[in-house]
Structure 1
Amino acid sequence: MKTLQKFAIASASAILLLGLSGCAGMTAQERSTAIGAGAGAVGGAILTGGSPLGTVGGAAVGGVIGHEVGR
């Protein structure tokens, strides 16, 4: 289980870094949404022990929060 959790965190971090490299042409609100989704995915993975459902749920919640903060 620890290996799966480490893999989920590493994968989410890599996706976050790759996603943020494409933020150069984004508006501030789009950037906030992407950052929120990435942070939510990592948080969801940590809180649920690497559960894919928790990771996706965290990304969705983080994206919505980031979108609203970016307004």
Structure 2
Amino acid sequence: MKVLFGAAWAVLCKDLLLEMRTRYGINTIVLFVLISVALTLFSLAGEVLRQEIIAALFWNTVFFAAMVALQRGF
């Protein structure tokens, strides 16, 4: 199990170093998250929401941010 986590950690470190060199993907993801949060706050207009709706909004934002991040992988 330690070998698996060690290999995953090595791949993660390598990918982060590559992203830091180009900064293309990180900038895109950060901009997407900021725009998503701003649009969500504007659309809610101060309404009180249930926890289920907040969780759904959060996971939708995470999903679409991951889709933006995955475009570089292909």
- Larger Rg, first or second structure (1 or 2): 2
Higher relative contact order (CA 8 A, sep 6+): 2
TM-score, normalization: structure 2?
A: 0.46
